[in-house]
């Protein structure tokens, strides 16, 4: 017996760039299909010609590929399926389940206002529902633009099991006859989205819960046309840190922006896979591994909150887990001048020393400066720290570093013993002299990479700086 494969889909409208919200929808659909050896399909919902652009469509595909969310079917373009939708309109017309509506936006706005004022939920009042063939003909002849509305046939309860939110029920009485073809002749989202899910054999339509109230309408369309109804599942939305829906204003970023800043795709994926979905695994995971544990039951019922700290955590993890070659590729992509600065045979060492200290590849630049710049710049506060340790610290270090065979451990031990400095009072100035920073990669590795001769030079130039300072301040 042939079993139909599980099929999910991502159905973006190319009216903007990809953000966390739609990327998470794509990711969850991808993971669910992969988990069940199913098919993940891409459908571009571009019937709204006024708002859809090719540029957005291209960037959506680029983002998905960059993330590794490869689809097995599609991309389908709704703009190329008009004939199919027309056929279904004809079928509905024959059944009397569709009628032309000549109401203008202004008339509809008044009706909505009146209903709201009398405490009723706004719905289409049915003005054009009972026009006879003659009246329709006359209005058409007069050139009045019209939409098509789906006729709600009877009073019924529309019930379905949401695979995420559980049982749902809607009363058809509360749903007014709704538009399924726009005034410009294009198919409305409500219509072609439902038709395509059925036509394409989509078994699971998983999407944001802003679509939950569309679902009973779409079920009515599919039922009328005797088309298969997919299982619907609606994810709670993502909120910003302020509790308002996530938007540009409260921190949402486009995937393109993140890519340009040097975020790693796996960081974004690992973050989103845990945004509103519990995953007990705390380590960075591949898409494959994430899919093995992806479960609709683990999707939270309450809205998820975007947290930039979490995103940065996963970004740091992703940087740490890269091979040195991968990490270098990122670094040279974002900071191309480092190719000139860092000799080829030192790149592996350089990356290995700094890898766990950078979150974004652009930060490598600061460390390259620390390694390769002939002079370091100190802030006033740094200079104060250096002056406080006193010149014996410098002189002893320079003497010790003249022995090319000294190990880092004995250098540190001898210098501590001879200066009497310990802990932070010892390591902070040492780090500052060698790297120009108060915090950073492991010092032993740093010193080895630089070589003692360069370290000695750093001590000499730092010493010069404090001498100059002391002369200025008269403390010599």
Q: Which is nearer to ligand GLU, 74 or 100 (CB)?
A: 74
Indicate which single residue of 69, 152, 163, 205 sits in contact with ligand GLU (rule: CB under 6 A).
205
Binding track, positions 402-441, relative to ligand GLU; x by CB under 6 A:
----------------------------------------
Q: Vertex 375, ends 369 and 379: CA angle to 5°?
A: 85
Binding of ligand GLU at residue 45 (CB under 6 A)? Answer: yes
Stretch in the footprint of ligand GLU (CB under 6 A) among 9-17, 129-137, 169-177, 283-291? 9-17
How far the first Cα of the chain sits from its last, in Å, is 94
Q: Is 56 an interacting residue with respect to ligand GLU (CB under 6 A)?
A: no
Specify the residue, 193 or 435, whose C-beta has the smaller distance to ligand GLU: 193
Task: Work out which of 13, 61, 270, 291 binds ligand GLU, going by CB under 6 A.
Answer: 13
Give whichever of 165 and 321 is closer to ligand GLU, judged by the CB atom.
165
The reply to whether 216 sits near ligand GLU by the rule CB under 6 A is no
Residue 16 vs 145, nearer CB to ligand GLU: 16
Q: CA–CA separation, 390 vs 384, rounded Å?
A: 10
Q: Is 207 in the site for ligand GLU (CB under 6 A)?
A: yes
Q: How far is CA 82 from CA 50, 77, 181, 188, 452, in A?
A: 16, 10, 11, 11, 73
Only segment of 5-13, 159-167, 432-440, 452-460 that touches ligand GLU (CB under 6 A)? 5-13
Residue 49 or 323: the one with the smaller Cβ distance to ligand GLU is: 49
Determine which residue in the list 211, 418, 445, 456 makes contact with ligand GLU, applying CB under 6 A. Answer: 211
Binding mask 136-175 for ligand GLU (x = CB under 6 A): ----------------------------------------
**Shortest distance, position 253 Cβ to ligand GLU, whole Å:** 18
12 contacts ligand GLU (rule: CB under 6 A): yes
Of 6, 7, 11, 41, which one interacts with ligand GLU (CB under 6 A)? 11
Stretch that binds ligand GLU, among 7-15, 150-158, 362-370, 416-424 (CB under 6 A): 7-15
Least distance (Å) between residue 63 CB and ligand GLU = 14
Kindly report the three-state secondary structure assignment for every residue of the chain.
CCCCCCEEEECCCCCCCCEHHHHHHHHHHHHHHHHCCCEEEEEECCCCCCCCCHHHHHHHHHHHHHHCCCCCEEEEEHHHCHHHHHHHHHHHHHHCCEEEECCCHHHHHHHHHHHHHCCCCCCCCCCCCCCCHHHHHHHHHCCCCCEEEECCCCCCEEEEEECCCEEEEEEHHHCCCEEEECCCCCECHHHHHHHHHHHCCCCEEEEEHHHCCHHHHHHHHHHHCCCCCCEEEEECCEECCCCCECCHHHCCCEHHHHHHHCCCHHHHHHHHCCCCECCCCCCCCCHHHHHHHCCHHHECCCCEECCHHHHHHHHHHHHHHCCHHHHHHHHHHHCCCHHHHCCHHHHHHHHHHHHHHCCCHHHHHHHHHHHHCCCCCCCHHHHHHHHHHCHHHHHHHHHHHCCCCCCHHHHHHHHHHHHCCCHHHHHHHHHHHHHCCCCCCCHHHHHHHHCHHHHHHHHHHHHHHHHHHHHHHCCC
Residue 7 found at the interface with ligand GLU (CB under 6 A): no
Q: Considering the complex, what minimum distance in angstroms separates the CB of residue 8 from ligand GLU?
A: 10
Looking at the Cβ atoms of 202 and 354, the one nearer to ligand GLU is 202
Q: How many residues bind ligand GLU (CB under 6 A)?
A: 8
Tokens of 441: 């990669």
With respect to ligand GLU, which residue has the nearer C-beta, 204 or 347?
204
Nearer to ligand GLU, 202 or 432 (CB): 202
For position 193 contacting ligand GLU by CB under 6 A, the verdict is: yes
According to the binding rule CB under 6 A, does residue 78 interact with ligand GLU?
A: no
Residue with smaller CB distance to ligand GLU, 56 or 316: 56
Interface with ligand GLU includes 215 (CB under 6 A)?
A: no
Using CB under 6 A, list all residues that contact ligand GLU: 11-13, 45, 193, 205, 207, 211
């Amino acid at each position: 017996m042939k079993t139909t494969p599980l099929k999910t889909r991502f159905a973006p409208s190319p009216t903007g760039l990809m953000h966390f919200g739609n990327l998470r929808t794509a990711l969850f659909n991808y993971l669910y299909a992969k988990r069940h050896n199913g098919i993940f399909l891409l459908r571009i919902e571009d019937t709204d010609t006024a708002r859809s652009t090719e540029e957005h469509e291209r960037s959506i595909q680029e983002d998905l590929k960059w993330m590794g969310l490869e689809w097995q079917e599609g991309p389908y373009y709704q703009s190329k399926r008009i004939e199919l939708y027309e056929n279904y309109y004809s079928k509905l017309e024959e059944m009397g389940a569709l009628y032309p509506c000549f109401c203008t936006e202004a008339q509809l706005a008044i009706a909505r206002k009146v209903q709201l004022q009398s405490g009723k939920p706004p719905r289409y009042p049915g003005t054009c529902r009972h026009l006879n063939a003659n009246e329709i003909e006359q209005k058409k002849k007069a050139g009045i633009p019209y939409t098509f509305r789906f006729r709600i046939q009877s009073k019924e309860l529309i019930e379905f099991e949401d695979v995420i939110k559980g049982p749902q029920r809607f009363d058809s009485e509360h749903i007014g006859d709704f538009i399924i073809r726009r005034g410009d002749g294009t198919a409305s989202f409500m219509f072609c989205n439902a038709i395509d899910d059925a036509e394409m054999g989509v078994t699971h339509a998983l999407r944001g819960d802003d679509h939950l109230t569309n679902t009973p309408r779409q079920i009515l369309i599919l039922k009328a046309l005797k088309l298969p109804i997919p299982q619907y599942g609606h994810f709670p939305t993502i909120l910003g840190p302020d509790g308002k829906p996530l938007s540009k204003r409260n921190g949402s970023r486009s995937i393109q922006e993140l890519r340009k800043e040097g975020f790693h795709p796996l960081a974004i994926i690992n973050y989103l896979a845990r945004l509103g979905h519990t995953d007990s695994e705390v380590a960075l995971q591949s898409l494959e591994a994430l899919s093995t544990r992806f479960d609709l039951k683990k999707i939270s019922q309450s809205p998820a909150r975007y947290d930039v700290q979490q995103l940065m955590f996963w970004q740091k993890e992703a940087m740490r887990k890269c091979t040195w070659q991968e990490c270098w590729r990122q670094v040279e992509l974002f900071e191309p001048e480092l190719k000139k600065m860092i000799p080829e045979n030192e790149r592996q060492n350089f990356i290995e020393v700094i890898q766990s200290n950078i979150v974004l590849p652009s930060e490598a630049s600061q460390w390259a400066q620390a390694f390769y710049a002939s002079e370091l710049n100190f802030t006033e506060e740094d200079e104060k720290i250096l002056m406080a340790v006193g010149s014996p610290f410098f002189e002893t270090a320079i003497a010790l570093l003249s022995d090319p065979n000294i190990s880092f451990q004995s250098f540190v031990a001898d210098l501590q013993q001879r200066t009497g400095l310990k802990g932070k009072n010892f390591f902070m100035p040492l780090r500052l002299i060698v790297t120009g920073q108060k915090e950073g990669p492991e010092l032993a590795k740093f010193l080895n990479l630089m070589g003692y001769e360069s370290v000695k030079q750093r001590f000499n130039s730092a010493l010069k700086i404090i001498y100059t300072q002391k002369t200025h301040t008269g403390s010599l």
